C-alpha cells in the first residue's frame, strides 16, 4: 500500500520538506570554477590608467567588436563598452587578440581581423585619447604573408617594435616575428626579423614581453588553443636584445593545467600595487569547456634565482555573478552589451514603454534568424523572456535561442498560433515538439533551461504555472555539437521575419 501524505497536515509538511531538500540538492550538487572575467573572453589585454585597469577581449564573430571592461583592483570587473560598434571598413571577420599600448598621450589598440576581398588576417590599429571610448581606426599596420595575428608592441629606448605571429597557415614552421615601427605606430620600417621559430611544430603565438635585469623575457603560448582536445600552455625565453638570440628559461610549462582549468595562455602583463606584475590570460574551465569558452584568469609573476619566472594563479572572488533580470519597459537608456553574429545578422532594436522592439535583416542562408545574445559563465542556467503577442507581428518567429552559429542552435519560438521547440543542425531545422498557443494570449512567457550534461529543457506559461514541452527526441535537445571551434554557444532572444515585422519583449532574465 502506498501512503497518501498529501491529505493530512503532516503530509503537507513532508511534501514541503522534500521540495526544499530537492531544491537544495539541485543548487549545491553542481559547481563550476569561477573566472576573474567569466564567460568567453579569450586573449585578454590589460592596461592601467588613472587608477583604473582596462581590459579588452577577443570577440571573434560577435558584434559589436572587442568588449571593454574596467576594474579598480583586477578582481572585480564590469563591462563599459566595445572598441568598435561597427566593423572598420577594411575588415571582414575574425576579430582576435586586441593589444593595448600607450604612446605620447594616445592609447593604441592593435588587433587582428580578416581583410575584405582576400580573407587574409592582418593587424590593424585604432587610437584614442581615452582607454575605453572614442577609438578611431587607422587601417592595416601589418600585412605579411598569409596571416598576421597576435600583435604586441615593445618600446626599446626611443624605438618601437611590432611583434606578431606569422606562417600559421603555411606548410612550414610558425614564427614569431618583429619589425621596427614608425614613431607614430602606424607602419613598419625595415625588414622583419625572426624572434622564435616553432621547430617542434606544436604551434606558438600570443607573445608578451617583460624587461628584467637587462633581459627581454618573451612569454608565449604553445600548443592547440581551442576545443576539447586543446593543450595550450605558457613558455618563456629571454635575450639581451629585442632581436635575440633567445634562450629557453623557466619550466617547460609555466601555466597550463590544474584541478579546475586547462589550456591556459595568451595574456598580457600589468603592474599592480607594490610593482607586483600580474598576468591576465585565458583558460577553459574543466567543467564548462567549450560551452563556457576561454575565460579570463589572473596570476602573479614572481622570480626565482637566477631569473626563473614562476606564476601563481589567483582565485576569483566568490561574490557576484552574471545574473540579470530586465524589464525592457523601464530600461530605455541602459546599455545591455548584448552581441550578435554580425556576419549574418543586422538587428534593429528600440526600447520604449511597451518593451524591446526587435527586428532587422539577415543573410539569405541564415535560417536561424537574428539572435541577441549574452555570454554564459556556466553550463547550468535558465533563460526566460516574456513576449507581448498582441504587439508582436503574428507571422514573425520570436522567442529564445541558444546560438552557436547560423547553422547550429536550439530554440523555443512562437510562430502564428504555435510554440515550437527545435534544433538547427547543419542549417536544417528539426522540430522537437510543438503545442498550440492558448487563444487571446497577450503576455506569453518562455524558458530554456540548461542542466548538467548539456540537456536543454523548454517551458512556457500563460499565467503562473510553467508547463514543459517534452521533446520527442531527447538526445536532439542536447547542446552537444553546438560550439564553434573558437567560441561558446550563447543564450539570447530571437527574431526571424520580414524587416517590416517585429517581436516585442517585455522582460528577460538569465540565472546561472
User: What is the predicted pLDDT for the residue at 305?
Assistant: 83
Residue 470 has pLDDT above 90, yes or no: yes
Task: Give the pTM.
Answer: 0.93
Residue 134: how many other CB atoms lie within 10 Å: 11
State the pLDDT confidence band at 322, using cuts at 50, 70 and 90: confident
Cβ burial of 77 (10 Å; 0-12, 13-18, 19+) is buried
Inter-residue contact 511 to 382 (CB < 8 Å): yes
- Strand, helix or coil for residue 338: coil
Number of H helices, E strands in the chain: 1, 36
User: What is the predicted pLDDT for the residue at 463?
Assistant: 86
* φ and ψ at residue 98, rounded to 5 degrees: -70, 150
In total, the chain counts a number of residues equal to: 512
User: What is the predicted pLDDT for the residue at 31?
Assistant: 78
Nearest to 497 by CA among 416, 442, 441, 417: 416
Nine cell digits for residue 213: 635585469
As a whole number, mean pLDDT of residues 264-287 equals 96
Dihedral class, residue 162 (left if φ above 0, else alpha if ψ from -120 to 50, else beta): beta
**pLDDT tens column, 97-131:** 999 999 999 999 999 999 999 999 999 999 999 99
Residue ranges and CATH numbers for the domains of the chain are: 45-313 (2.115.10.20), 324-511 (2.60.120.200)
**pLDDT tens column, 198-254:** 999 999 999 999 999 999 999 999 999 999 999 999 999 999 999 999 999 999 999
Residue 27 has pLDDT above 60, yes or no: no
Inter-residue contact 161 to 180 (CB < 8 Å): yes
Residue 49: which H helix or E strand, with range? strand 45-49
State the pLDDT confidence band at 8, using cuts at 50, 70 and 90: very low
Q: Evaluate the CA torsion angle 86, 405, 109, 161 in order and state its sign.
A: negative
Whole-Å CA distances, 332 to 329, 336, 405? 7, 10, 28
As a whole number, mean pLDDT of residues 173-191 equals 97
Dihedral class, residue 427 (left if φ above 0, else alpha if ψ from -120 to 50, else beta): left
Strands (E), 240-313: 247-248, 261-271, 277-285, 294-304, 308-313
Amino acid at each position: 500500500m502506498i501512503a497518501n501524505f498529501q491529505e493530512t497536515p503532516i503530509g503537507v509538511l513532508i511534501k514541503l520538506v522534500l521540495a526544499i531538500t530537492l531544491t537544495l540538492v539541485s543548487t549545491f550538487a553542481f559547481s563550476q570554477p569561477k573566472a576573474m572575467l567569466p564567460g568567453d573572453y579569450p586573449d585578454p589585454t590589460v592596461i592601467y590608467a588613472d587608477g583604473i585597469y582596462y581590459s579588452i577581449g577577443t570577440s571573434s564573430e560577435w558584434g559589436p567588436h572587442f568588449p571593454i571592461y574596467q576594474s579598480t583592483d583586477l578582481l572585480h570587473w564590469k563591462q563599459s563598452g566595445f572598441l568598435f560598434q561597427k566593423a572598420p571598413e577594411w575588415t571582414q571577420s575574425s576579430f582576435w587578440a586586441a593589444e593595448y599600448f600607450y604612446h605620447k598621450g594616445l592609447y593604441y589598440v592593435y588587433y587582428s581581423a580578416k581583410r575584405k576581398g582576400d580573407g587574409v588576417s592582418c593587424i590593424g590599429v585604432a587610437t584614442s585619447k581615452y582607454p575605453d571610448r572614442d577609438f578611431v581606426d587607422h587601417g592595416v599596420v601589418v600585412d605579411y604573408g598569409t596571416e598576421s595575428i597576435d600583435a604586441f608592441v615593445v618600446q626599446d629606448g626611443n624605438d618601437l617594435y611590432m611583434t606578431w605571429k606569422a606562417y600559421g597557415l603555411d606548410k612550414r614552421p610558425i614564427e614569431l616575428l618583429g619589425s621596427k615601427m614608425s614613431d607614430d605606430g602606424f607602419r613598419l620600417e625595415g625588414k622583419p626579423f625572426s624572434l622564435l621559430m616553432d621547430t617542434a611544430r606544436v604551434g606558438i603565438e600570443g607573445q608578451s614581453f617583460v624587461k628584467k635585469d637587462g633581459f627581454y623575457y618573451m612569454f608565449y603560448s604553445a600548443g592547440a588553443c581551442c576545443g576539447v582536445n586543446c593543450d595550450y600552455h605558457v613558455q618563456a625565453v629571454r635575450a639581451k636584445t629585442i632581436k635575440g638570440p633567445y634562450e629557453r628559461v623557466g619550466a617547460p610549462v609555466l601555466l597550463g593545467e590544474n584541478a579546475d582549468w586547462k589550456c591556459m595562455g595568451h595574456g598580457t602583463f600589468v603592474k599592480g600595487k607594490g610593482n607586483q606584475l600580474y598576468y591576465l590570460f585565458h583558460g577553459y574551465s574543466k567543467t564548462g569547456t567549450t560551452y563556457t569558452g576561454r575565460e579570463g584568469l589572473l596570476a602573479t609573476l614572481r622570480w626565482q634565482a637566477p631569473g626563473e619566472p614562476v606564476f601563481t594563479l589567483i582565485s576569483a572572488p566568490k561574490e557576484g555573478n552574471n545574473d540579470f533580470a530586465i524589464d525592457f519597459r523601464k530600461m530605455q537608456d541602459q546599455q545591455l552589451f548584448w552581441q550578435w553574429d554580425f556576419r549574418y545578422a543586422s538587428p534593429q532594436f528600440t526600447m520604449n514603454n511597451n518593451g524591446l522592439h526587435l527586428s532587422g535583416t539577415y543573410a539569405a542562408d541564415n535560417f536561424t534568424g537574428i539572435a541577441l545574445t549574452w555570454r554564459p559563465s556556466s553550463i547550468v542556467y535558465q533563460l526566460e523572456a516574456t513576449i507581448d503577442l498582441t504587439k508582436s507581428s503574428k507571422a514573425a518567429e520570436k522567442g529564445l535561442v541558444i546560438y552557436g552559429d547560423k547553422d547550429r542552435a536550439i530554440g523555443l519560438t512562437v510562430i502564428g498560433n504555435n510554440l515550437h521547440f527545435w534544433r538547427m543542425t547543419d542549417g536544417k531545422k528539426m522540430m522537437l515538439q510543438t503545442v498550440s498557443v492558448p487563444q487571446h494570449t497577450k503576455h506569453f512567457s518562455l524558458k530554456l533551461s540548461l542542466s548538467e550534461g548539456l540537456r536543454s529543457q523548454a517551458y512556457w506559461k500563460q499565467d503562473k504555472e510553467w508547463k514543459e514541452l517534452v521533446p520527442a527526441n531527447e538526445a536532439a535537445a542536447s547542446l552537444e555539437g553546438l560550439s564553434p571551434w573558437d567560441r561558446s554557444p550563447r543564450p539570447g532572444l530571437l527574431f526571424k521575419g520580414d524587416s517590416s515585422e517585429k517581436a516585442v519583449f517585455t522582460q528577460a532574465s538569465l540565472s546561472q
